[in-house]
Structure 1
Amino acid sequence: MTFTHVEMGEAVFGIAPGHAEVWAMLRIRQDEHMANLCAAAEALVNKIAGEHHLPARCGGSSGLISAMAERSG
């Protein structure tokens, strides 16, 4: 996995970011296993976001996964 982009809030002190976005490139030797790898990555994103009570959206194709989480309030 290669992280290709990360964005977290504004560059200020004392404030937790209200928006975060992480992009990662998944690589695999055999194409037929890519769908399973993408599904596992999306499940992990949703599990971690759920543990922290954050809504998360995943999207991607051809091994590029982007995940976004936003904190309300």
Structure 2
Amino acid sequence: MYASASSPPLLLTVLVSLVAVVPTVYCLFDISRHPDTRQLTAPAWMLICAFGNIFGVIAYVVYGRDANR
């Protein structure tokens, strides 16, 4: 149907997926190892990181991660 529309290259798709997934996995792992967080509880930060995509990860690093580690 759409002859001029092409799918994105595989490498680009993989890179975008990794940019979205790797920081989220890192934050979830960090929260599970160090449950002492600021502002919210550890389960709340896990939900924010898991479902907030990159904005949730940035919020956790800036506002949730305990500075005493």
| TM-score normalized with structure 2 length | 0.35
Kindly indicate which of the two structures has a greater share of residues assigned to helix.
2
Kindly indicate which of the two structures has a greater share of residues assigned to strand.
1
Flag the structure with larger Rg. 2
| TM-score normalized with structure 1 length | 0.34
